[in-house]
Amino acid sequence: MQSKNQKKQRSQKRQLNFPISNNVIQLPDYTEKEKIITKQGIRLISTTDNNLFPQKVSKLAKESSTLKAVINSFAEYVSYGSILTENQALESKLTDDLNKYYNWFELSKRVAKDRRTYGYGFIESVRIGGEVFIYHLDASKVRFCEYDGEHPEQVAISKDWNDNRIEPIQRTLYPNYDEEGRTIIPIFEYESGQNDYPLPVWSGAFYDAQVESLIGQYNANQFENGVTLSSILMFDFGDVTDENGEDGLKDKKYKLEQNIKGTSGGRSGKSLIVPKTGDVQAPEYVTYPMQKEGSFMDLQKMVENNIVKACSWFRSLAGLESAGALGNNQQLRNEWELAERLIQNEQDVIMGAVQKAFEGTIYEGDVEFNNQSPMNVVNDLSNITTLLQNKETIGTEAVKELLKMMGMDEQQAKIISDNDSE
């Protein structure tokens, strides 16, 4: 029984430690010949890394907080733009009947997220009679099949490429449709030297994202298993002169001394207590001030900036900049104008793929997008400042109503009007 308890305790102690994965993922070397592999009898063009490179990229994008913030914010902005078209059937289709589960705004967000994460995306078009339904297809689950020159080009789709028990589904690539009226439309952009699988836009910071992931793992491990002393308290515990005391004084005192030794507080920022047996001395207290907020702070800032730059994005739009460091109105205006071009381009690319699915139907038509800047940064910041400067003249309630007219809800207008100093 005692042996089982000891094993259980040892098992619990082992669970407190977790390994840090420090195997650096390498970018695929496209100078080598494309590797053809066979899965369930299907000949595929491998993505490298045992055909699991997209899965590793996906995991990395989740572990890097900066990369995740940049990808998510970009995808959100892409989905914000309102649709402008003269084709009412097309507008109704995009907003209300794109498929059973979601509309254009959700589709564009998902595809934009895939294209920012992996470098490419896919949509699936399903034609039933005269109707067309369009779905997002998770890019990490799609692989290109080897082209034999006779049949239409195809892709293979699997829920888990690491599980050989799952049989991939083959689908025809656009412009060909299969017997079920389905086709897969890839959404790629040109990349110098690319073959079948383009690299993500942030490939220039590929290793920075891995470093950021390791920083988080290291700091978490240090909090859980590390010792960071803030002070040491040493005090006199007296001396024992009678080694053969009747009451076993020496043994009791030694046992008590061992019980007192240890640390107070949590795992980090501890005070070490050291009782000393020997000559009488005054208590000694030694402090160890913490010089840094955490490990690798400078490295964290460097890789964060590299990731944002590699994504051609802006810290302010990714929620990475504090309110006091956002810069002036002109800086925000310039950043938004550049960002809007990227957003507009992404919307046009995704809509171009959707228009392919609508060819020959009543849903063909031109579409433009009206992208409002966040809180109308370009014009509204100066207007808000003017309102707040004249709050005493026009009154708080009037300011709230004007802010609401600028598109803010009740709570936002109240917060800004009540905290005008910020």
pLDDT tens per residue, range 170-226: 999 999 999 999 999 999 887 776 668 889 999 999 999 999 988 877 777 666 666
Does 128 lie in the same domain as 193? yes
Q: Amino acid letter at 357?
A: A
Does residue 169 register a pLDDT over 70? yes
- Which residue type, as a one-letter code, is found at position 89? A
Residue 283 lies in a domain: no
Q: Are residues 306 and 394 in the same domain?
A: no
Residue 89 has pLDDT above 70, yes or no: yes
* 39: Cα separation from own chain's centroid: 31
Instruction: Single out the residue in 335, 351, 370 at which a domain terminates.
Output: 370
Mean pLDDT of the chain: 79
Q: Identify the weakest region by mean pLDDT among 34-38, 71-75, 144-148.
A: 34-38
Q: How much of the chain, in percent, has pLDDT values that exceed 90?
A: 43
Measured over the CA atoms of residue 185, residue 189, residue 190 and residue 194, the dihedral's sign is negative
228-236 and 268-276 strand pairing:
parallel
Distance of alpha carbon 146 from alpha carbon 153, whole angstroms: 8
Q: Are 105 and 189 members of one domain?
A: yes
**The predicted structure's pLDDT at residue 323:** 47
Please indicate, yes or no, whether residues 142 and 66 belong to a single structural domain of this protein.
yes
Residue type present at position 277 = T
**Minimum mean pLDDT range among 248-252, 296-300, 351-355, 398-402:** 248-252
* Cβ–Cβ under 8 Å, residues 149 and 107: no
Task: Please identify which residue in the block is written with the tokens 């970018």.
Answer: 27
Coil, helix or strand at residue 354: helix
Same domain, residue pair 309 and 417: no
Domain end, chosen from 370, 389, 406, is at 370
Decide if 347 is inside a domain.
Answer: yes
223 and 315 fall within a common domain? yes
Higher pLDDT, 382 or 17: 382
Residues 198, 93 share a domain = yes
Specify the higher pLDDT residue, 71 or 246: 71
Q: 202 or 12: whose pLDDT is higher?
A: 202
Residue 268 lies in a domain: no
Whether 422 and 306 share a structural domain: no
Residues 99 and 213 in one domain: yes
DSSP 241-274: --TT-TT-HHHHHHHHHHHH-EEESSSEEEEEEE
**Which domain, by its residues, includes 404?**
373-422
Residue 406 falls within a domain, yes or no? yes
Could you tell me if residue 12 is inside a domain? no
What pLDDT does 263 receive?
Answer: 54
Model confidence at 322, pLDDT cuts 50, 70, 90, reads low
Give me the mean pLDDT over the 378-403 stretch: 71
Mean pLDDT across 81-110: 95
Is the pLDDT at 324 greater than 50, yes or no?
no
Residues 334 and 222 in one domain: yes
Instruction: Give me the mean pLDDT over the 147-153 stretch.
Output: 85
Number of domains present in the structure of the chain: 2
Both 346 and 391 in one domain: the answer is no
Q: What is the pLDDT of residues 97-147, one digit of tens each?
A: 999 999 999 999 999 999 999 999 999 999 998 899 999 999 999 999 998
386 and 347 belong to one structural domain? no
As a whole number of angstroms, the distance between CA 161 and CA 168 comes to 8
Counting other chains too, the contacts that 123-126 makes at CB distance below 8 Å and 24 or more residues apart are 123/184, 123/185, 123/187, 123/350, 123/353, 123/354, 123/357, 124/171, 124/182, 124/183, 124/184, 124/185, 125/174, 125/182, 125/183, 125/184, 125/185, 125/356, 125/357, 126/180, 126/181, 126/182
| In a domain? residue 183 | yes
Question: In this structure, what is the dihedral angle of CA atoms 390, 391, 392, 394, given to the nearest 10 degrees?
Answer: 80
Residue 161, domain member (yes or no): yes
- Which H/E stretch holds residue 36? strand 36-39
* Secondary element (H or E) of residue 229: strand 228-236
Most confident listed range (76-80, 222-226, 257-261, 324-328): 76-80
Q: What pLDDT sits at residue 87?
A: 96
Q: Report the distance separating Cα 209 and Cα 197, nearest Å.
A: 20
Cα–Cα distance between 389 and 137 in angstroms, integer?
A: 50
Strand partners, 84: 368
* Residue 19 reports pLDDT greater than 60: no
- The Cα–Cα gap between 55 and 46 comes to 13
Other C-beta atoms lying within 10 Å of the C-beta of residue 418: 12
User: Does the residue 182 lie in any domain?
Assistant: yes
In this prediction, residue 112 carries a pLDDT of: 97
Q: What average pLDDT does this structure show over 282-310?
A: 73
According to the model, what pLDDT value does residue 351 have? 97
**Residue 318's pLDDT is what?**
81
Q: What is the pLDDT of residues 330-382, one digit of tens each?
A: 667 778 888 999 999 999 999 999 999 999 999 999 999 988 765 554 455 56
Mean pLDDT calculated for residue range 142-156? 90
**Chosen domain end from 354, 370, 386:** 370
Q: How many CA atoms lie within 13 A of 21 on its CB side?
A: 9
Predicted confidence (pLDDT) per residue in 230-274, tens digit:
666 666 656 555 555 555 666 666 666 666 655 555 444 556 666
List the structure tokens of 161.
Answer: 């490429």
